Copies of this chain bind each other. A is one copy, B any other.
Amino acid sequence: MSQSPLLLQLIEALRCLPGVGPKSAQRMAFHLLERDRKGASILSDSLQQAVDHIGHCSQCRTLSETEICGYCSDSRRNDELLCIVETPSDVLAINQAADFNGKYFVLMGHLSPLDGIGPAELGLGLLEERLKEGGVKELILATNPTVEGETTAHYISEMAAEYQVVSTRLAHGIPLGGELEYIDGGTLAHAFSGRQKLL
């Protein structure tokens, strides 16, 4: 083996990143070593710190380095609104985009019986405890608009109904600034049937 073993090891290790194949791993390794060794060191530290300290919030299950995350411990947030999402990325997306000041609950997936992912794996027991306690007035079901996401939303809405908690679902429709002709048929049909009075 003529190539530096540490270099080959780095190229191989970079492939744990999603979407990074052999060519881009190689390009990344050379870029870091030739042009950004400081960035590489910072990345190394950040990775290790994240792995060592980031776990899941005991209340909402999102990624957190504290037992209770920043969202759950924020007393300015409204406890009566609980937004259910599939992943921590969804929390980030909603938080950046929507004017939502309630709390979150992160399923870390969706119901998928064939993969052995049932209510227990999604922490629905924890969610039921929360509904039982009272306090939550509305569950906003922001799971993905996929078959699994819809099934999961339906399952949770039935659970919520048992505790007289209202469930809502994000509106489907045409994305803002989107052009009608480029929108998929399913979305367009949804947007059409969900049309609203203007005046």
Contact = CB atoms under 8 A, between A and B. Distances in A.
Interface in A33-64: 33-34, 36-37, 39-51, 53-54, 63-64
Interface residues of A, number: 61
A4 interface: yes
Interface string A139-172: 0000000000000000000000000000000000
A27 interface: yes
A88 interface: yes
A21 B169 CA distance: 30
A89 B4 contact: no
A5 B166 CA distance: 33
B65 A9 contact: no
A126 to B, nearest CB: 18
Contact of A26 (B3, B9, B29, B92): B92
A133 interface: no
B40 A4 contact: no
Contact of A2 (B3, B9, B53, B95): B95
Interface string A49-87: 111011000000001111001110010000000000001
A117 interface: no
B24 A70 contact: no
Contacts of A42: 13, 16
Smallest CB-CB A-B distances: 6 pairs: A16-B39, A2-B70, A44-B47, A13-B46, A44-B48, A13-B43
28 contacts: A2-B69, A2-B74, A3-B70, A3-B92, A4-B63, A6-B53, A7-B50, A10-B46, A10-B49, A13-B39, A13-B43, A16-B32, A16-B36, A17-B32, A18-B27, A18-B31, A19-B27, A27-B181, A30-B63, A30-B88, A30-B89, A34-B87, A34-B88, A34-B108, A37-B51, A40-B51, A43-B47, A44-B44
